[in-house]
């Protein structure tokens, strides 16, 4: 009999933020609305952070925020600058996958690890930083998106969860969903992200490997048949083999997505919970990819087992 695979180790968690830390806002994906960005930056400054921006944060080249080389250069600058403690992606859209073969991974690996925050298209960077750098990253709201940049102010629950995820001395709280699609309880490092990006990464060096991990899946404006197609791709590519459990985030404007999600995921024989406010929509809570977590179908909750790195004596 083949022994069960060992649970994968969590990834390295970079030092979390302290008031007064400098954070860099960059645009690795689509072009950024300047008014939204300005409001989002004010929110970050209200958290006690010093905000610097990449040279190309307001560039526009069609559906991209500048050329691939320009966007890669901003990301490399932000990650390698020793004075910057976190790299915050301004928004998603499209374009992150185009950067993965243009980044100087040796330079990024030589830099001190720091926080990377983003969601949606930034899923590609989460996967690449996990595979190439072994660093845990934050999946949550971005400064130029509606959750943080609404003219009426940031959504309170989302802002509180972001603060708890980013800052030292705070413990990320459990995230509760709306129901379970398959029973059970499981523990493992959290992985996943936006379903369309995970499907697009199949067959690349950055394809998701679910073995022993809890997989978070979410998406926006995808019809059920497209969700079915992308899940089938992940299943047939082996990306979901050995998953410990599945946590389903938001499925905004995705029609009646739950039946196809249940049909395709329940045969994995692992706990599946649904309705977590993670991904798109409001509220939009923040989770750490690569950090240990538990999902419990009875309480329909994702429970972070988060530990800050121990400081050297």
Active-site entry in 126, 280, 292, 301: 280
Q: Of 120, 149, 250, 301, which is the active-site residue?
A: 120
DSSP alpha helices (H): ranges in the chain?
34-46, 68-80, 105-110, 123-133, 146-149, 156-166, 195-200, 224-236, 258-265
**Contact assessment for residue 54 and residue 25, using Cβ atoms and an 8 Å cutoff:** yes
How far apart, in whole angstroms, are the C-alpha atoms of residue 105 and residue 204? 16
The string of DSSP codes covering 21-58 is -EEEEE-SSS---HHHHHHHHHHHHHTT-EEEE-TTTT
Q: Rounded to the nearest 5°, which phi and psi values hold at 275?
A: 80, 20
Pairing of strands 115-117, 50-53: unpaired
In the chain, what's the furthest Cα-to-Cα distance?
60
- Residue 180 sits at φ, ψ, to 5 deg, of -110, 140
The dihedrals phi and psi of 129, each to the nearest 5 degrees, come to: -70, -35
Pick the catalytic residue from 119, 126, 155, 218. Answer: 218
250 catalytic per annotation: no
Output the six-digit token pair for 74: 């901003």
- 280 labelled catalytic: yes
Contacts of 46 (CB under 8 A, 6+ apart): none
DSSP 268: G
Q: Which residues belong to the active site?
A: 120, 218, 280
């Amino acid at each position: 009999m083949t022994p069960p695979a060992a649970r994968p180790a969590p990834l390295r968690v970079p030092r979390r933020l302290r008031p007064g830390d400098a954070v860099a806002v960059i645009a690795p994906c689509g072009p950024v609305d300047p008014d939204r960005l300005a409001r989002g930056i004010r929110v970050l400054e209200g958290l006690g952070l010093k905000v610097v921006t990449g040279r190309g944060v307001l560039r526009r080249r069609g559906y991209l925020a500048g050329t691939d080389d320009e966007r890669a250069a901003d990301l490399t600058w932000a990650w390698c600058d020793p004075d910057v403690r976190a790299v915050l992606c301004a928004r998603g859209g499209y374009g992150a996958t185009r950067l993965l073969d243009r980044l100087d991974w040796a330079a990024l690996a030589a830099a001190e690890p720091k926080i990377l925050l983003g969601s949606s298209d930034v899923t590609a960077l989460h996967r690449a930083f996990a595979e190439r750098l072994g660093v845990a990253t934050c999946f949550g709201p971005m400064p130029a998106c509606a959750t943080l940049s609404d003219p009426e102010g940031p959504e309170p629950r989302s802002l509180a969860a972001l603060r708890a995820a980013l800052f030292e001395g705070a413990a990320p709280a459990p995230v509760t969903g709306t129901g379970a699609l398959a029973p059970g309880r499981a523990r493992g490092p959290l992985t996943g992200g936006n379903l369309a990006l995970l499907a697009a990464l199949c067959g690349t060096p950055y394809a998701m490997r679910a073995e022993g991990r809890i997989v978070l899946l979410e998406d926006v404006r995808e019809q059920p048949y497209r969700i079915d197609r992308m899940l089938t791709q992940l299943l047939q590519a082996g990306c979901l083999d050995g998953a410990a459990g599945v946590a389903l985030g938001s499925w905004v404007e995705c029609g009646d997505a739950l039946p196809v999600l249940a049909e395709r995921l329940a045969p994995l024989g692992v706990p599946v919970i649904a309705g977590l406010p993670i991904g798109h929509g409001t509220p939009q809570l923040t989770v750490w990819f690569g950090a240990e977590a538990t999902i419990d179908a009875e309480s329909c909750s994702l429970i972070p087992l988060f530990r800050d790195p121990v400081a050297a004596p």
